[in-house]
Amino acid sequence: MIPEWLNLVIDSFPQLFYATVVFTIPIALISFVLSLIIGLFLAIAWIFFTRKVTFIIYIYVWIFRGTPLLAQLFLIFYGLPHIGIVVSAFNAVVIILTLNFSAYISEVIRSSIMAISRGQWEASYSIGLTLYQTMRHVILPQAAATSIAPLSSEFISILKSTSLASSVTVPELFQISNRIVSTTFQPLIIYLEIVIIYLVLTSLCYLIQIKLESFFTRYTCPDNYRKKMSLKKEKQNFFWLSS
């Protein structure tokens, strides 16, 4: 006979899985991609543009880093309709996650770019590269390698922050779990189930982070690169001898 708690987990999992795949993960991915684009633009503008532009960006970052995410979400979803601007719950969540985390991501990217030594810039200019070519071929690839870990942390933060969407009736993972709890009266089992789901998602993110770090640092870690090349040569020698 199946225990009651296991039967509840089996019955509730399809709903929670659907909410995760259809709402939680898409919200996190869309928000992260948009935050990355805006954050990259803000970081480059902070470094290369005039002081007036830098001051505007500073105010932007100051506002979104200095106020609670939930308050920002309520301002967009409940406040804007009073001035005639109606935003759907899904769009409101994506907008506010994008605006909020782009402020954090801009700081990550800016610090990664600023960490590149001045000699890299001077060497690029000395061989005739333009600013665009220098950024594309020299600076940004190196900055990407050092920013993988903090950017992964930001994505995980976005993923966990999607639970705030339940406060504006978006049927994501946390909202659906609340509905199930209201009908089954088993909060311990249901909330433990969503905790495990979040842990699985964040663990997958950590694995992807490790793969990305290995890819972007394959030429900056000579020991690892030599090991890979030696293994490749051993495989080639093996196939050559066996042929």
Q: Which residue matches tokens 């080639």? A: 236
* Angle, helix 25-48 to helix 51-65, in steps of 10 degrees: 150
pLDDT digits (tens, 9 = 90+) for 110-140: 999 998 888 988 899 999 999 889 998 889 8
pLDDT digits (tens, 9 = 90+) for 166-191: 999 899 999 999 999 999 999 999 99
Task: Check residue 239 and give its pLDDT.
Answer: 47
The rounded percent of the chain whose pLDDT value lies above 90 is: 69
Compute the distance between CA of residue 139 and CA of residue 167 in angstroms, rounded to an integer. Answer: 41
Task: Check residue 2 and give its pLDDT.
Answer: 77
Q: What is the mean pLDDT of residues 88-109?
A: 96
Domains along the chain with CATH numbers: 4-242 (1.10.3720.10)
Provide the b/e sequence for 215-229 (b: ≥16 CB within 10 Å): ebbeeeeeeeeeeee
Contact 139/116 with Cβ under 8 angstroms? yes
Q: What is the mean pLDDT of residues 3-32?
A: 94
DSSP secondary structure string, 154-182? HHHHHHHHGGGGGGGT--SHHHHHHHHHH
Q: What is the mean pLDDT of residues 49-76?
A: 93
- pTM for the model stands at 0.86
pLDDT digits (tens, 9 = 90+) for 205-221: 999 999 988 887 776 66
Nearest-5° angle of CA 153, CA 154, CA 158? 120
Compute the distance between CA of residue 127 and CA of residue 154 in angstroms, rounded to an integer. Answer: 36
Task: Check residue 238 and give its pLDDT.
Answer: 43
Question: Cα dist. 229→133, 205, 222, 223 in Å?
Answer: 29, 28, 10, 10
